[in-house]
Amino acid sequence: MSFPLIIAEKPDQGAKLAAPFPHKKKKGYIEISSNQTFPQGAYLTWAVGHLCELIPPEEYDPKWKKWSLDTLPILPESFHYKVKRDKWNQFKIIKDLLNQPLVDEVIMAGDAEREGEAIIRIILKQAKNRKPMKRLWISSLTEKAVIHGFQNLLNEDETRSIYFEAMSRACADWLIGMNASRVYTLLLQQKGINDVFSTGRVQTPTLALIVEREKEIEQFKSEPFWEVKATFQMDQKKYEGIWHLDQETRISTQEKADDIADFCKGKKARVMDIQKERKEFHPPYLYNLSALQAMANKLFKFPPKKTLDIAQKLYVRGIISYPRSDSSFVTKEEAEMFPEILKQIGEMNAYKEYFPLPYQSIIDNKRYVNPKKVTDHYAIIPTEQVVDPSRLEKDEQRIYDLIIKRLIAAHYEKSIFDYTTIHTIVEERATFLSKGKQMIQEGWRKVLHQTDDKKDEDQLLPDLLKDETGIVKQSKVKEGKTQPPKRYTEGQLITLMKTAGKFTSDAELQSILKKTEGLGTEATRAGIITVLKDRKYIEVTKNLVYATKKGILLIDSIGKSILASPEMTAKWEKRLQEIGEGQASPAIFMEQAKKLSMKLIDDAKSAEGQWTFSEDLLEEISHFTSKKQGRKHAKAKLGACKKCDGSIVEKGNFYGCTNYQKTKCDFTISKKILGKTISQKNISKLLKEGKTELIKGFKKEERNFDAYLEWDQERQKIQFLFPTK
């Protein structure tokens, strides 16, 4: 009989693991008394997330402390960790417990995935552990799951390969980050941009996709078009249609659209053809993390990280399964528990209307129950410790409700609709299209009608017969404009990262990215988006993702380097997956990572000669950098104030008068006007000569225009001056 030391990943997780057993709380650990699972008792302690970190470059070699092109590449022979300074006390508690003579075995109880594996193993390595190890591998923190997990521990070697995968990922990412970040930062400094440009194997290709969309929007030229809509009266039946020619409804000139509308007014119309198609829609899959994040963003505008944080809290409470799952399936073992879970859910007021369920069990339904598609974890589902959502905080309630309703919907029938397309011809010349749908069976939409449905824009069409005739009651012209591509929401960005394979034309890479789930992992995607925000490469406004000038500058600088392409991530993810499966060598992978680091440095140095940046862009980024770094220096006087004897200086988001505090002089010019940043050079010219240089690319609604800014002395304000043709 052994006396184990159990090491959890976090304190709250540790508390849940101790809950089924008699125990006493101590400082930094828990003492578990003798019980059926641990006859001798046990110690249980925890990390506090990442207790250790990779050492910085200068601790390998002092010459790497200074950022210099001469000292690149940074290629340590081997990688080393150290305990974080602010986590030392907890590390000491773990080490002291580990060295207790009573302890004769270690149970690694981090989250059941790569990162959880690495966190605990690195601590044990730093503590020079020599005692035998076992692995707890569970997907929920209910008492039943915890006891079952401790009674069915894995041998240490069964999960060792995923530790090698996590280490290979961390060390290779460190290499790429250190070398590529330094080379681009240093080369851009030579161009006068004094900022730090962080790069990464996943964050940079993700940023490249966002910048690409930003440029598509910027370069888009809106074109007007016209459509003709008609209202048909067939006896007592009325419906609408849109004119088309070979399925194209848009007309290039208003004159032609008016002619068609005038031609149709009051004319005879005939139902030329009626097409009906019945479509069946299966209930959606159970949630994996990406799908949950995308839905919560769509419905509640939650950033992906917020959804993950809430789901983690629900997991620690023991009421949902492990949230960082990439699977939408469960095994038969979980499916056997569904009837009991759903029985408890059905007794709650919030869900009574959905019961009794059409299907009492889905254990034989391969859409949900498929062990071959369950990887480290099964789908995110409610556990048997069901709680009433009304007892939770509002945001927790929303996420828990989504997970519960997905499980309920899986026990419903298909949703069935009839789609009808009517082709109407006017005077045997002008053809019109009418589309509608009719719900035949509501099915699972009864449960998810408020969450998963798109807005229904199809009209309800009357019952019509082929060759039925009537008249055009009304015809009108509607003007529209072609719209630029839409910016991504944060939820769409998660999905975009997952499907990045479709952005490469290489069939092999497409296959690899599809197999490895695109850019990043379920556990890391939210963090990557947060990093892009923190680095000021993207901004999120009203849930829409914008690339900043800094983000655009970095991607323009990187150009066609493999660093910005999903290709590198695709190949790496394939190799890392093979390491995790014990089929590839971590040492060979690290040698390849070192060679790639050298190539990225060469790519950057070769590209630097072709870099050209506008003065406005350089000035804007330079201003942002000095503001971010809190530099205090005398503000440059750009010229004399037009309203008093003061001087005009830069004041954050605008230019203003130095006399404001004394005389309340209200002379101001916004730094950004209709999408264009007004440079200090142009402000100086305006103050000295009365007008700026010609500024190109002002944007108002759908219109772009070029203009000077000039000072109107009589009206005492800035105005546009348009160039003469």
Kindly list the catalytic residues.
322
CA distances from 704 to 220, 253, 673, 694 (A): 11, 21, 13, 14
Do you find a cis peptide bond into 371, omega within 30 degrees of 0?
no
Quote the tokens at residue 462.
């009357």
CA distance 429 to 435: 20
Residue indicated by tokens 């824009």: 457
Do you find a cis peptide bond into 224, omega within 30 degrees of 0?
no
CA angle 657/659/664 to nearest 5° reads 95
CA 141 to chain centre: 27
CA distance 302 to 304: 6
Quote the tokens at residue 420.
């009808």
Give the three-class secondary structure for 277: strand
Identify whether the C-beta of residue 112 lies closer than 8 Å to the C-beta of residue 376.
yes
- Bridge partner list, 8: 46, 109
CA distance 35 to 22: 7
Quote the tokens at residue 294.
């995308």
- Bridge partner list, 433: 242, 423
Quote the tokens at residue 416.
């069935």
- Bridge partner list, 241: 230
CA distance 233 to 432: 14
Which DSSP string corresponds to 399-413?
HHHHHHHHHHHHTSP
Q: What is the DSSP letter of 387?
A: -
CA distances from 694 to 205, 321, 572, 705 (A): 36, 60, 48, 11
CA distance 501 to 510: 5
CA distances from 475 to 257, 261, 276, 471 (A): 10, 5, 26, 11
CA distances from 451 to 59, 300, 402, 457 (A): 52, 10, 8, 17
Give the three-class secondary structure for 641: coil
Q: What is the DSSP letter of 72?
A: -
- Bridge partner list, 280: 416
CA distance 298 to 304: 11
Q: Which residue in 227, 233, 222, 224 sits closest to 258, CA to CA?
A: 227
Q: How buried is 139 (Cβ within 10 angstroms: 0-12 exposed, 13-18 middle, 19+ buried)?
A: buried
- Bridge partner list, 705: 698
Its sign, for the CA torsion 305, 310, 315, 316, is positive
Give the three-class secondary structure for 719: strand
Residue indicated by tokens 């009266």: 233
Task: Tell me whether strands 23-26 and 29-32 are parallel, antiparallel or unpaired.
Answer: antiparallel
Q: Which residues contact residue 406 at a Cβ distance below 8 angstroms, ignoring those fewer than 6 apart?
A: 284, 286, 287, 448
Identify whether the C-beta of residue 49 lies closer than 8 Å to the C-beta of residue 527.
no
CA 676 to chain centre: 28
